[in-house]
Amino acid sequence: MMVELSKPCREPLRRACVALVAACLGLLVTTAAAGDDLRVNLEPGLRAAAGPDGAMCLETLPGTGEGLLALSRRTTGGTAAARAIREANGGGDILVAGRWYRVPVELLTPELRARVVGALHLDGCLAGDGWVHEVAGGEGGRPVESLWQVAEWFTGDGANFATLRAFNQMEDEGLRPHDKLVVPAGLLTPAFRAAARPCAEPSRVGDLRYTREDGEPYAVYRLRRGEALYSSVVVRFTGLTTAADVNALAGEIAELNGIADVTSIPAGRDIKIPFDQLLPEYLPPNEPRRLAYERERAATAGIQNPVLARDLDGITVILDAGHGGKDPGNTYGEVWESLYVYDVMLRTKRVLEATTAATVVPTTRDGRSFAPTERDVLPFSRGHAVLTQPPYPIEDSVTGVHLRWYLANSVLAHAMAHQGDPDKVVFVSLHADSLHPSLRGAMFYVASASLSQGRYGKQGAVFASRREVRERPVVEYTLAERRRSEGLSRDLAESIAGVFRQRGLAVYDEKPIRDKIIRHRRPPFVPAVLRYNAVPAKVLVEICNLNNRQDRELIQTRAFRQQVAEALAQAIVDYYGTATAPATVQTAAAR
């Protein structure tokens, strides 16, 4: 097949006439570079063409003595389309020998349509689930294909766009250039399916190879010496983290693989993992769930904080210590999450106020002072209140969480009333996790744009009595806002993870920045304090894992909590890209 660039598919009549006249005069016809279009020769006198609007057609030379009706029969299977063909070609009834005539793709016989569509989508291929299509357009001002067009080309009916959208787990109907999506095999026109080129499916990606048994797809991992099923397979490839989740799935995978004793699996043993348990990034490249994941990542990639602020001048930092009051959060014996993350919050506030010009707004307070307790092991307290107006002494953990995002939204609104820029506010929520004891280090959560949809607001006296709730009782964010927020939040989370690593603070090994929480094998979710929060750049930091002995010992030292506070402060300074030397923060904070 030969591919050439020449005239558009549905060019105006005037240009067609000029081309025709030029051809008749024996001149070499070339067209302007901009808006040029794809043409693929199918056989002598037959070629596929796509116009600048993405519309596809067959172009054909009339056969000897062939009239409009005969051409219609040859290309569309009947004469009903003759009139439409005449109109697509400038309205003449008499066909001119040697002139190319266009037949829009939707009129073609299934066989010709499959050939045209297939020829113009050389990048696509047929995978197990269907046709993998890469979206074109965008370059040179060319419109991006629509989901309707994709449905029409490959399934014969544009109305299948809704099925395509659902099958590909799309947030909306918008397509972006180079997005990949799958047209389900069952929807493809039979002629197209027969003509489609199969994908060269990789049999392995990284450390995994892929196989099918009794029609069920599996990834296979070969266990190395010293590796354990729970950490090297379950934690790594499925994203599960809590002890209960990890142990339960490790048990299921052991059974699936006929392993009686999980504590003595020989090195070199192959472990099968069902596809539906895998994180999307470990699926083969053409799986719809992996493509959906990649489209979402592409939609938020490259979004970076646009604000530069030397010494955090003009920046508001909302610091949220999780839990508190009657809600101790995760506990391990006498180590309460609420006490230790509150102390880190106080230390971060102190560092920021001593070394930067940022305005620091805590969401909670215990007692009257914001001074940290100078002790390693912290005394018990249930005195934390959320600093709404009036304050909420934390009785109920869920109410406490919701009042925090109402408070953050109010702080954002008031900051914007002063300086007008939502990107000058950041929100950092501090927590400590309770995970499988083999895991250690910090983990960072941002809000997945695709899981933060919908309208939300709280009712009841405890909410209605707070000024912050009355200011904005219900929230709802557009997909564009959520994507931008996810991108900025990742930027902030990367800054925090980077400073943690630089300073030797442990960061979780596998995928330390996550956009959803997976718990109890239920559908993933975004924590409410992020999900309903209007601050664009927001991160929930799990400082460490209280179930891990090393992490638990560390958090019970002032030195570690101070290091975390200084790292957080530096990360916010870095996020705003100032030239402040790291030493400035450290030195001043050490007082």
Q: Which residues bind Zn ion (CB under 5 A)?
A: 322, 329, 431
For the CB of residue 431, give the shortest distance to Zn ion in the complex, in Å.
Answer: 3
Q: Would you say 329 or 536 has its CB closer to Zn ion?
A: 329
Q: Would you say 233 or 529 has its CB closer to Zn ion?
A: 529
Is the peptide bond preceding residue 390 cis, with omega within 30 degrees of 0?
yes
* DSSP notation for 404-428: HHHHHHHHHHHHHHHH--GGGEEEE
H or E stretch at 452: none
For the CB of residue 532, give the shortest distance to Zn ion in the complex, in Å.
Answer: 17
Give the CA distances from residue 234 to residues 229, 349, 452, in Å, rounded to whole numbers and listed in that order.
Answer: 7, 38, 27
For the CB of residue 512, give the shortest distance to Zn ion in the complex, in Å.
Answer: 17
Q: Cβ distance 486 to 447 under 8 Å? A: yes
Q: Would you say 331 or 578 has its CB closer to Zn ion?
A: 331
For the CB of residue 530, give the shortest distance to Zn ion in the complex, in Å.
Answer: 12
Strands (E), 316-403: 316-321, 331-332, 335-336, 359-362, 364-366, 384-386, 392-393
Summarize the chain as % helix, strand, coil (round to 5): 40, 20, 40
Looking at residue 340, its amino acid is Y
Q: Would you say 130 or 527 has its CB closer to Zn ion?
A: 527
For the CB of residue 443, give the shortest distance to Zn ion in the complex, in Å.
Answer: 11
Q: Would you say 277 or 364 has its CB closer to Zn ion?
A: 364
Q: Cβ distance 401 to 513 under 8 Å? A: no
Q: SS3 for 190-228, per residue?
A: HHHHHHCCECCCCCEECCEEEEEECCEEEEEEECCCCCC
H or E stretch at 122: none
Q: Would you say 136 or 513 has its CB closer to Zn ion?
A: 513
Q: Cβ distance 167 to 127 under 8 Å? A: no
For the CB of residue 304, give the shortest distance to Zn ion in the complex, in Å.
Answer: 28
**Closest by CA position to 150, among listed 182, 119, 127:** 182
Q: Would you say 81 or 435 has its CB closer to Zn ion?
A: 435
Q: Which residue is nearest to Zn ion (CB)?
A: 431
For the CB of residue 542, give the shortest distance to Zn ion in the complex, in Å.
Answer: 7
Q: Would you say 115 or 402 has its CB closer to Zn ion?
A: 402
Number of C-alpha atoms within 13 angstroms, CB side, residue 252? 11
> What span, in angstroms and rounded, lies between the C-alpha atoms of 565 and 286?
43
Calculate Rg over the CA atoms of the chain. 30
Question: Phi, psi at residue 527, to the nearest 5°?
Answer: -60, 140
For the CB of residue 164, give the shortest distance to Zn ion in the complex, in Å.
Answer: 39
Instruction: Sort 447 into a burial class: Cβ within 10 Å, 0-12 / 13-18 / 19+.
Output: buried
Q: Would you say 236 or 431 has its CB closer to Zn ion?
A: 431
For the CB of residue 427, give the shortest distance to Zn ion in the complex, in Å.
Answer: 15
For the CB of residue 437, give the shortest distance to Zn ion in the complex, in Å.
Answer: 17
Q: Would you say 26 or 333 has its CB closer to Zn ion?
A: 333
Q: Could you tell me the end-to-end alpha-carbon distance of the chain, in angstroms, rounded to an integer?
A: 74
> What span, in angstroms and rounded, lies between the C-alpha atoms of 58 and 117?
9
